[in-house]
Amino acid sequence: MNKIPKLLQLILVVGGIYCAFVLVFDVILQQVIPNSLLNMYMFFIAAGVLAVYTFTEEGTEELLAPIKALVENPDKVRTRNIVFVLTPLVVAAYIYSQLLPSIEAPVELRSIHPAPPSSVKIYGKRYDLKTLENPYRVLETEDPEKFRELVSTGADIYIQNCHFCHGDKLDGQGPYAAGLNPVPLNFQDVGTIAQLQESFLFWRIATGGPGLPDEAAPWISSMPIWQDFLSEDEIWQVILYLYDYTGRRPRSWEE
Ligand code: HEC
* Largest Cα–Cα separation, the chain: 98
- 84 CA distance to ligand 1 centroid (A)? 56
Q: Whose CA is nearest to atom 26 of ligand 1?
A: 192
CB atoms within 10 A of CB 13: 15
Closest CA to 185 of 124, 242, 253, 238: 242
- Which of ligand 1's atoms lies nearest the C-alpha of 192? 26
Q: Which atom of ligand 1 is nearest to the CA of 177?
A: 2
Cα separation, 162 vs 167, in Å, equals 7
**Cα distances (angstroms) measured from residue 149 to each of 71, 207, 228:** 86, 26, 24
- For CA atoms 211, 166, 197, 216, the dihedral sign is negative
Please tell me the distance between residue 7's alpha carbon and the centre of ligand 1 in angstroms. Answer: 56
Nearest ligand 1 atom, CA 196: 26
**Cβ–ligand 1 contact at 167 (below 6 Å):** no
The CB of 222 under 6 Å from ligand 1? The reply is: yes
- Between the CA of 205 and the centroid of ligand 1 the distance, in Å, is 7
Pick from 97, 79, 86, 112: nearest CA to 183: 112
Tens-digit pLDDT profile for the chain (255 aa)?
Answer: 457 888 888 899 999 999 998 888 878 877 767 777 888 899 999 999 999 988 888 888 888 888 888 888 888 888 888 989 999 999 999 998 888 776 655 555 555 677 788 888 999 999 998 889 999 999 999 999 999 999 999 999 999 999 999 999 999 999 999 888 888 989 988 888 988 899 999 999 999 988 888 766 656 788 999 999 999 999 999 999 999 999 999 987 665
Smallest CA-to-CA distance from 224 within 165, 157, 138 is with: 165
Interatomic CA distance for residues 121 and 133, integer angstroms? 15
Q: Which atom of ligand 1 is nearest to the CA of 242?
A: 35
User: Which of 184, 201, 181, 182 minimizes the C-alpha distance to 248?
Assistant: 201
